[in-house]
Amino acid sequence: MSDADLTKRSKLKLLGGVHPAVIAVWAALIAVGSLLPAIPIIGSGGTFSVSAALIPLAGIFFGPIGGAICAAIGSFIGQMIAPHIAWLGIATFLIATVNAFVVGCVSRRKWYIALGIIILGYILWFATEIGRGAAIFPLIFYSIGIVAVVIGAIVFAQKGVFEKRPFLRMLGIFVAAYAGFVGAAAIANFFGIILYQWPATMWKGLAFVSPWERAVFSLGATIIGVPLLIGLPKIGVFVGSDLETEEDDEEDDEE
């Protein structure tokens, strides 16, 4: 391998191995998605946006680093052009960043990092008086996220998840996305309590609403993600957890 190829490869590694043009396109899609009309979720009062599905898919497609960069750029631009979605102010984009990072960790067999982020959410929650008064919220919502991480760890331990096993492909996207939504919420909810002092009674009610909402979000990501996983490689954009493993194997062979 030439010095030029090594330099190019090292630069790509800084972006999680993802080409800057691909990051720019996906980030633009996330930003534009924030402008599209949201779809009401029956039974929760919440809404689902296209952007909510594209964020975890960034982690699925491009891994924890590349996905987090896509989500950070896209969400930051999105909150600039649609400031009504920035409920944490200038830091709102970090929620999407954590989401994509957690999803990328689950899909790249680094489930222990995703698990650690959700556990950190538990610790932060019970560090607040309001959180301790609504213990049922993390015990239900965050625990389901941990289950999603465990299932994801089992699914993505299999070879050829995205290429040869359609059911596992769908299940993998769903549980990884769910883990990402929970991981992001676990961090964001702490700041919501600190900044806005949302009462414990509100969180107790959300204990039964948030899991359902995130399941809808994850299903949306699955519906959008499955055909993209099939179609993108056909136009030269290679995505998925197995790609990274193949590249690692190639590097080992070269050494």
**Over 70: is that where the pLDDT of 212 sits?**
yes
Give the span between the Cα atoms of 129 and 81, in whole angstroms. Answer: 35
pLDDT for position 170 = 94
Q: What is the pLDDT of residues 131-147, one digit of tens each?
A: 999 999 999 999 999 99
Helix (H) / strand (E) containing 40: strand 39-40
What ranges do the domains of the chain cover?
3-254
The strand pairing partners of 40, in sequence order, are: 47
Kindly state the average pLDDT of the residues 234-238: 73
Kindly state the average pLDDT of the residues 197-214: 94
Give the span between the Cα atoms of 206 and 104, in whole angstroms. Answer: 26
**Percent of the chain scored above 70 by pLDDT?**
83
pLDDT band at 14 (very low <50, low <70, confident <90, very high): low
The more confidently predicted of residues 86 and 7 is 86
Kindly state the average pLDDT of the residues 194-223: 94
The more confidently predicted of residues 113 and 251 is 113
**Over 80: is that where the pLDDT of 5 sits?**
no
pLDDT band at 3 (very low <50, low <70, confident <90, very high): very low
pLDDT band at 42 (very low <50, low <70, confident <90, very high): low
* Cβ-based neighbour number of residue 162 at 10 Å: 24
**Over 60: is that where the pLDDT of 44 sits?**
no
